[in-house]
Structures are given as C-alpha cells and as structure tokens.
Structure 1
C-alpha cells in the first residue's frame, strides 16, 4: 500500500520562529534544513517499454546492456514539491537522497527532468525528457545506506522538481521506492535565512579615451543617460562566479560597454511546448522538420536550457529570464535585430522585449539593429515604422546626447546616402539617430566613403583566433577617423546546415577577441551572438551550460575596469569537442559530405581546461591512461590543453600539496567514430550555485 507523503515542517517552523522571536532575517543565520519526501517515484525499463512499475517497492537503474541484454536500460524518476523556503534564503543546497537495497559499484547520474509524468501511468515509451547535462554523479551504493547526490544546480526557489537517475557503468543499482516504508527517495534542502553581505564594488575610474566622442557633428558618448538600476545582483548567487562581480549599477558606471546580439528566430522557446516535443527538439533530430535537415544530421547541435511549459505571457517571461542571465554576466544590454513579419511571430516580439527589460531592470538597454530591404533604392517606410515602435521607450539604448544608435547588420547592401536619408526621415518624426554599421567584414581598411555617415564602426568579425588582431587594427583606425569602435567577440561558428565551421581553439577565440579589442581601444564589445544556435551562441545551453558566459563575465569586468578580477573561488571549466575533426562519420546518413573549414586556422583536436585559481596549484587532465599535468605558480586564470583522446571521457583536477581540491568530469565522452559530425565545443564546469534558469 502506498504511504502518504508530505514534506517535513522544518522550513515552516523556522520561518515561524523568526516571526515569533522578532529576529530580522539577517540575524537568523544558523543553517536550516528541510527533508521532503517524494510525491511520485517509479522506474522505467527499455526492455518492457509499455510496463508501468508504479506498485514496485524498489527502483532499478541500469545501463543499456543490463543483465547482458540489449536495449535493456532502466531509469528511475522522482518528483518533489518544495514550499516554505523564504525568498531571501541564502547558500541554498539541495541534495537528492536515495536508499540502496543492495551493494553495487554502479555509476549513477542525476538529471533534471522536464515534461509531465506520474508513477501510475509512466513507462519507457511515455517517459519525460532527461536533461543532457548531469547535475551530479556518484559511483558505489551500500545496502541499507543512504546515497546523496548534490542537485543544487537545479534550485530555482519554491515549486515542483523532477529528477531522473541514469546509469553509465556497473551492474543494476536497486534503490528503495516510497512503497517501502521510510526508505523512499527524499530531497534535503539546507539554507540560511537573511540577506547576503553586499558585494564590494570598485570605484569607477572611467578613461576619457574610452568615451566615443569622435564624430565631428554629434559628438556621441557611449555613456547612457542616468536611469534607475539595482545596487545588488537580482539574478544569481554571489558564488556563481570565481570572482566577486560588482553590482549591475556599478559596472554600468564605466564608459566601456558590452552588448550581446540577440537573434529573434531563436528565443528561449519557439512554441512554448514540452521540451521533448518542441521546435528545438525537432531541429536537433535528423528526422525532425519533416526530414529537411536529415542529410546533415539535424539543423543544429545545441539548444537553450529547457524550461517547463508556461502559462500567461510566456514570451515576455522568457525574455525576462534571458535578461537576468545577461545581467548576471555583467552585460549592459542586447543588440536586437528587429523587423516585423507578416508570417513569423518570432520577429514580432520587440515590444515584449522592451517591456521585459523595463520590468527586470530599466538599466538594461536595448540597442536597435534594424533589418531592411536590400533591393537597390528600396523604400524605407517599413524600416522607419519598425524603428518608431521604440520611440521614447526607457529601455532603448541612447547616447549621452540623446541620440539613438542604429546598428544594422551588413548595412553595405545599401549606400551611405540611403542610410543618411533614413536618419533624416526619422529625425523629422522626432527620433534623432546615429549610425553604427556592423559591416560584414572590416578590419580597419576601406569603407572610407562611410565616414561622414557614421558615429562608429563595427563588423561581424571572425571566428578563429589568429585573425582577432584585426580587431586591434580596426579600433586604431576608427580612432584615426574620429569615430568610436564596437568590436565583435564570439566563441565559435559551426553551421552543419551548410557544411562549414571555423576553428576557435576551444575558448581561445573568445578570450583573444576581448584582449585585441582592448588593445585597439574599443569602446563597446558586441557578443556575436547571444542566441543564434544555428551558428554562434553564448547564452546558457544544454551542451555548454554557463561555461562560456562565465568566461564572458570575467573578461567583461576586465574590459570595463582595466584590471583582471581577483579570483576568490577556485573553478574549473572545460571546452572540447565530442570527437576528433577527422573522425569517420556515416556517409550513408550524413549525405552532404564532410563539414569542413573553408578558410582560417587549421583544425585543432584539443581538450582545454580553463582554470580560475585563487592560489597556485597543480592541474591535471586525465583521458583514460593519458595523464597531463601543469604546475601553476600564480593565482589567476590559466588555459591548459591536451590532445583529445577518442574513447575516453576527460577528467579535470586541481591539487595543492598533494591534496585534491576540485575534480570535474566532462559530460561529453569523446567518440572514436560518429553517425553525424558534431563540431561544436561542448563545455561545462564552474561553481555549483543557483542560476537564473
């Protein structure tokens, strides 16, 4: 018989104690714990895909070759209802606890689960979606003992949580279900009540040379007009980064700015459907989209972090999440490619983005990148009406003199005179603008015919490390012409749909882009892009987590302040592909032929450990029997690389005085051969903390 389950009352009791004693939340700093029993739990079996094990007194977790069979994987599911945790809870940890019915050396991972399921109806065929990235992994279970897995990464506050267990090695792991009295899975939440100490903020020391005041007519400055901004981080725990980041308001005081280019076709969710069945799932599936991308193995290789189906105004809610993610990385705003569409609603959400920015933080600004007709001499009326939608909105980015920068992509498809005329017409409508063209390619030579029409220069840039010096040259040339410079920065560019990719040297291109932009005196950096999952993206994603964005946060603080942040917390990140670039693929299925580098740096098959160290230590990259070490003699960020070894799963380690300080195992095994090429850099690691999603 099923035993009724309900959460223990530790959370509610503590809140009542604070109210009864009159203690302020800040005073109640002793850790508080609550243990919540599962509201549903069940296991599912690939070997019996239609069987529901809702009455079983145990849960079985096993690899695909379970008991020497084929296609016999077993997984466990469990859900919990968290309530009573105060909004100002700090240092929240969430631990999944399961009791083993037998001793085994099984390696089991916990995943976040999305989609609906129940213990009374769910089987293998109707299973929900398991998150690609494991929240926690452990090896070994002892009969009668409780095994713990830290799933704190999934914490987002009060609400429903679902987790799934999978096995990657070892025999069957047998765990007690809630049908065995007192031994079912539970979720332990520990936290302290009170507000955290304010993060120290550096005194702004803006450089006069960084202010873009070079255009002879409008003298624009990138310093935005004053607007209300929060003084504390609203989106993430203070321990989410290896360093202490100033508040959003403090970072915005610096002249230099960092914006992320937002591409409307790829929002957080396209259709507000179950992530297992939504448009991104279709794009990742070679058979999805009616087989349109079968020849290349799917439209793309990654997707944004999945979120549950929302009610209400889900588009604005999604924008708000992405804005919080960007603010947590120190980003000043989005560059939004805007035009309205008669057929595609993804392009018609500009008003909701502006509303979301205003709701989350009016200091987060939107720079307009208007799309436009490319036919020679085309009418400008629709472009003007699209731009005027933002007229007077407090979240629209403007320079200190009140002018609105327009940053169109590939503007050279029209003449400078065409853009001059468009700006004149906008001025007649009461909207004074300046042009900051994002040329398809500009490294400081040519385009002189544009100089009298622009306030600054920019370009779409490159995606390989050796060419980033062009950003330095472009910045110096822009200064010579009396204009400011917006430098591009990107992680990589991989386009399976049209058979191309460029070699990014793991995180090297991204890091060098910031460095070369700074050397050239860039005034703004444009991150290309925030969310174009078909080419180049930096937003938190399934295959990379927050790793790229944390690297952006570190370099953004340096770009703005001129000083490398002091590392306060050790953190290990990794970047590597899931196979060598020359690994054999199934040409009968990937019928387009090889996805290849058209030009630029040669392919580099390496695993990178990007370590942030608060003091010296020894770094290790282990791939099977291949062990590479590096002695680091000073605190700071260090890149350590090793040749990629197929047939292994990399493990990264930090030691001091022979003691292991931190270990991170990659979520991406390196395959010897593949069906379809996957040439993106997978990534992971970093602090275990609460994130905006």
Structure 2
C-alpha cells in the first residue's frame, strides 16, 4: 500500500469526474466560499503495504449494526439480485484478527477496550505508539450461544446490505484461531446467503512455513462449501495475497497438486505488492491479476495503466479501492485527503473498466483501512461506497434524497500527543502531502446552500445538484453542516468528534458522519 500538511485560509475541493458528475476546485474564499460545480487473542503485526502491508466508544443496538436499509442513502440501492446480475464483482478484504468481538464481553470493557485501544493494554506492549488501535467495530452486548459464528453472520449481513458480493478472506494460518474464523466465515455465508461468496486468499506472509501439500489440503477442505467462490466453469478462485512471496513455478506446482490430488482446477488471481515486476512471470498460470494498491490520491492517479496492462495480457483485473491508511504500530500513515482517496480509487476502477473490485479492507483496524461499520465512522464509508459501487455496476443512480457527509481528523497532523509516545506516525514516502481539512461531501437532488460551522465560525456556499466535495481548514472545536433550500433545512449533520490541538495519543484516523443516519 502506499498513502498535506498545509493550513489554508481558503476552501478547496478536489477533481473528480464520474458518470457525468464533476467536482472542481473551489475558488479562493475570504468569508463566504462560492461552490464551483463539478484465551488471549494474538494479532500479527500487520506487514501489508507498499513494501509489505481511546476513541470514544459508541454502542448501538445489535439490530442497527446488522442491517442497513436504503433509507439513509441519497438514492435507492438496487436489490441484491440486480446488483449481482451486473457481472461485476465487488469484494471486501476480511482480516481475521479483528472480528466484532474477541471475548463476547460488554464493549465498554471488552478486549478491544482494555487491551487494543489503551496505551497500557496487553501489559504495555503497545505503549510506544499509544495503543494498537484507534478504531474498533461497533460494540454490542454479550450474546448467548456460538457468539463468534453469530458475529460473522452479522458481518455478512452488513456487507450484503452495503451491496457487496462477498469477502476475500485473508488466510493467515491453517491451524490457529484465524483458521477457525475462516471456516466460520464460510459457515456464516452459507447460513445467511450462499450467493454471498468467499474468495480464498492465502497470505504468503502468514503461511511462509506451510508446505504446498498442506496448503492444498486446507484449500480443498474450504472449497467443499457452496459459498466459496468459483467461476461459471467451476474453477476455484484462489487469490493469494503477496503472491510473489512464492515463485510462479511454486504456484504452478501447487495448482497441479490441487487438480491431481483433490480434483480441483484453480483460477489463480494473484494479488501482488509489485504488479509490474511480477506480472509476466505469472501470466501463463493466472486467470487474472490484482495488486494491493495505494491509499492516497497521488498513488491512485493513474490506475487505468495497470488495468490496461492486465487486459492486454488477456487477464481480468481486480482493482483495490480504499478509504485511508494509518498504522500506529508501524509508525507510518498515508494522506487520504478526507474522502478524496476513496473517490479517486473508485474513479480509477470505473474509468479503467476493472472486472472486479476489492475493498481494502473490510476490517483491518491495525492499519485503519476499514470500511466496516465502526466507532469512528459508523456506516458512513459504506454509504458513500454504495453510491460508487452502484455507478460501477449499473451506472450512477438518481439522487432522490439530500445527504451531507462530514469527514475530519480530531487533531492537526503536527499536533503532539500529551501521552508519552516514543513512536509517532510519519507520512509515507510518495504519499499525497499531509493536510488539515474538514470536508463536506454533498449528494443533493437539487441545488442547495451549505453552511459549515467549524470552531464557531460559519461559512456558506452554494452546492449544485449531484455530488460535490469541498474542504475547509481544520480548527480546534466542533464541526457541523446544514443544507438549506427555499429557506428550509433539508439535511443536517453534527460531528460528535471534537477537534483538539492537544490529543491524548496521536490519532490520524479520519472520522466520518452522515446526515442520513
């Protein structure tokens, strides 16, 4: 994966053209900006990325976290059957270390709260970087029965409600608790909706010591489920993460073992950290290609190049689409530019005509790349994503309801934490420049007047019908926005996350709120 610090006295927006909707940079603003259209769980130290890989606790009812209607959205989300019939697949990368609950305890004092969100958690092993995590799944009360399986059913329901076709599950082990979760995830999909597919993604980092025969046996066991993804010709899709962790020859031999020993023909869709370096070696054995991708707008500026290359080699392409990336334990972050990175990566997938999309990730909270409903963002990123997913599958939908989305960090990038952290996140080399901004992303069915209040100061601009993004300087205090038309308020959103110049720990994860929820 790859991932501005500037204090502005003007509002800016970002370029994005999609489905006839254009958002262009706003002009300089003085007072009123003018819009321009446009046991103890163990978690591996995640190493996925460009060379590798105490938030406020909000508790909601389990029902609310499990299901999403199209009511909160600015458009009517098509039925699941219609979305699936488009032929284009949208999967989300499921990371087994972070299920909804690790111990079935009340969220105020569960394993996440005690050990991952606090700097002193797990006997202080995460104190240098202020705690392992900055966000977590939305909490729930303890439940009876097989809570782990029930939680996975909930996540499958969440993903289906958001329009997704399935999960690509990161397989870190073939023996541990992570392996059990993989098997339970497949069982959960079977129970909820077998049409929701699980793509098997062996992780060559976690499986470095697993031999070919053992891996083949494990994958064959999983492949017995009707929820595991196969092509129409019955080939089993295997999409190894960091495929170059094993040679193309190794994978070719492994595929032969799958066929001769287990009677399973494989369609290999390798996910590379370095696509250009490895594509030619894997071409003869692969059905398609993908890469892990970038997590900042600069890194997602020319995505069509990879897609064109793959298509030119006769392969399908699975495009990574992402929100953001901040990794306290690795001391590194990407500048997502509020929702700019999300919109840019979707633009690349749509314009480049990617065959499949992988949301990276559903729930890797240690890298803060999650789309899943979380404490810091609720359903907001999935709601925004649903619009672009629809554009990708069916063409951009008609906006029938006014919705405004607010995104911002809770501290300036350069703010020093009051907690004695010895390891701070630094901007990843090659990333978009770090910035301190509040963004309003509006989806309106007619032009409206948007008022944005940051730290008590209000600015007003005219937003056209359609999709518009506008950013403002981040300042300590509270943030809210309203959309008015004909003197009536049609949308209102208040962020529950105050901005401070003196954060307790360094926390560069963007918060997100929707007026629709």
Normalising by the residue count of structure 2, what TM-score does the alignment of the two structures yield?
Answer: 0.85
- Give the equivalent residue in structure 2 for 1:629: 460
Within 2, Cα distance between the matches of 1:237 and 1:374?
37
CA distance in 2, matches of 1:592, 1:471: 33
- What does residue 608 of structure 1 align with? 439
Counterpart secondary structure, 1:533: coil
1:619 match: secondary structure: strand
Aligned-pair CA distance for 1:584:
2.6
1:524 corresponds to: 356
Q: Which residue of 2 aligns with 1:664?
A: 493
Distance 1:266 1:321 in 2: 14
- Say yes or no: does 1:419 pair with 2:419: no
Distance 2:188 2:120 in 1: 35
1:238 and 2:70 correspond: yes
**Compared with structure 1, are the counterparts of its residues 539 and 593 closer, same or farther at alpha carbon in structure 2 (3 Å cutoff)?**
closer
2-structure distance, mates of 1:547, 1:130: 17
Give, in angstroms, the shift of residue 337 of structure 1.
Answer: 1.4
Query: How many angstroms does 1:130 deviate by?
Result: 12
> Does the 8 Å contact 2:316/2:354 carry over to 1?
yes
Paired residue for 2:502, among 666, 673, 684? 673
CA contact (8 A) 2:318 2:357 kept: yes
Q: What is the match of residue 547 of structure 1?
A: 380
- Aligned pairs, number: 460
Contact conserved, 2:93 with 2:168, CA < 8 A, in 1?
Answer: yes
Following superposition, the deviation at residue 664 of structure 1 comes to 1.1
Aligned partner of residue 78 in structure 2, secondary structure: coil
- The aligned counterpart of 2:512 is 683
> Does residue 422 of structure 2 align to residue 591 of structure 1?
yes
C-alpha distance in structure 2 between counterparts of 1:686 and 1:316, whole Å? 32
Structure 1 position 285 matched with structure 2 position 98: no
In 2, the alpha carbon distance for the partners of 1:571 and 1:250 equals 24
Structure 1's 485 and 658: CA in aligned 2 closer, same or farther, altered over 3 A?
same
Alpha-carbon contact 1:630-1:640 (below 8 Å) kept: no
Residues 203 and 242 of structure 2 are in contact (CA less than 8 Å); yes or no, is this contact kept in structure 1? Answer: no
Go from structure 1 to structure 2 and tell me whether the alpha carbon gap of 1:155 and 1:530 turns closer, same or farther (over 3 Å shift).
closer
Q: 1:619 to 1:521 in 2, by over 3 A?
A: same
Pairwise CA distance, 1:687:
1.9
State which of 475, 479, 482 in structure 2 corresponds to 1:645: 475
> Where does 1:4-403 land on structure 2 (aligned, <5 Å)?
132-133=57-58, 154=61, 156=63, 235-281=67-113, 282-342=115-175, 344-372=176-204, 379-403=211-235
Query: What is the alpha-carbon distance in structure 1 between the residues aligned to residue 269 and residue 258 of structure 2?
Result: 16
Q: Aligned equivalents of 1:608 and 1:462: distance in 2? A: 21
Please report the RMSD computed on the Cα atoms of aligned residues, expressed in angstroms. Answer: 2.2
Gaps of 5+ in 1: 1-128, 135-152, 158-233, 689-693
Equivalent residue, structure 2, for 1:479 = 311
Is 1:464 aligned to 2:296, yes or no?
Answer: yes
Q: Could you say which residue in structure 2 is the equivalent of 1:533? A: 365
Report if the CA contact (8 A) 1:496-1:595 is conserved. Answer: no
Report the alpha carbon displacement of residue 295 of structure 1 after superposing the two structures with TM. 1.5
* 1:397–1:405 Cα contact (<8 Å) kept: yes
Q: Which has the higher contact order (CA 8 A, sep 6+)?
A: 2
User: Cα distance, 1:131 vs. partner?
Assistant: 6.8
Alpha-carbon deviation of 1:372? 4.2
Moved more, 414-423 or 467-476: 467-476
Give the aligned partner of residue 20 of structure 2: none
Distance 1:457 1:436 in 2: 5
Structure with the bigger percentage of strand: 1
Q: For residues 462-502 of structure 1, give each alpha carbon's deviation from its aligned partner in whole angstroms, at most 9, with x where no partner exists.
A: 01102213421100111111111000011011001121000
Q: Distance in 1 between matches of 2:455 and 2:181?
A: 48
**8 A contact 2:96–2:170 mirrored in 1:** yes
Take 2:356 and 2:305, find their aligned partners in 1: how far apart are those partners?
15
**Per-residue displacement from partner, 1:411-452 (whole Å, max 9, x unpaired)?**
10111010011111111111111110110133x566312111
Residues 154 and 295 (structure 1), Cα distance of their counterparts in 2 relative to 1, 3 Å cut: same
- In the aligned structure 1, how far is the partner of 2:205 from the partner of 2:371? 28
The SS at the match of 1:156 is helix
Q: In 2, distance between residues paired with 1:287 and 1:379?
A: 38
CA contact (8 A) 1:286 1:297 kept: yes
**Distance in structure 1 (CA, Å) of the matches to 2:326 and 2:501:** 20
C-alpha contact (below 8 Å) 2:152/2:185 kept by paired residues: yes
Deviations 1:148-190 (CA, angstroms, capped at 9, x unpaired):
xxxxx75839xxxxxxxxxxxxxxxxxxxxxxxxxxxxxxxxx
1:514 counterpart = 2:346: yes
Cα 1:254/1:653, change in 2 over 3 Å: same
Q: What is the CA deviation profile of residues 621-675 of structure 1, one whole-angstrom value per residue up to 9, with x for unaligned ones?
A: 1113432222123x222112111112x1011110112332222111111101223
Tell whether the 8 Å contact from 1:472 to 1:518 is kept in structure 2 after alignment. no
Higher CA-based Rg: 1
Aligned partners of 2:208 and 2:451: how far apart in 1? Answer: 58
Instruction: Tell me if structure 2 keeps the 8 A contact 1:351–1:389.
Output: no
| DSSP-derived class of the 2:90 partner | strand
In the superposition, the TM-score normalised over structure 1's length comes to: 0.64
Distance 1:458 1:594, change over 3 A: closer
Q: Distance in 1 between the 2:392 and 2:164 partners? A: 11
Matches of 2:55 and 2:130, distance apart in 1: 21
Residue 585 of structure 1 and its aligned partner are, at CA, apart by: 2.4
Q: Deviations over 1:309-363 (max 9, x none)?
A: 1211111110111011111111000001125454x41332222211111111111
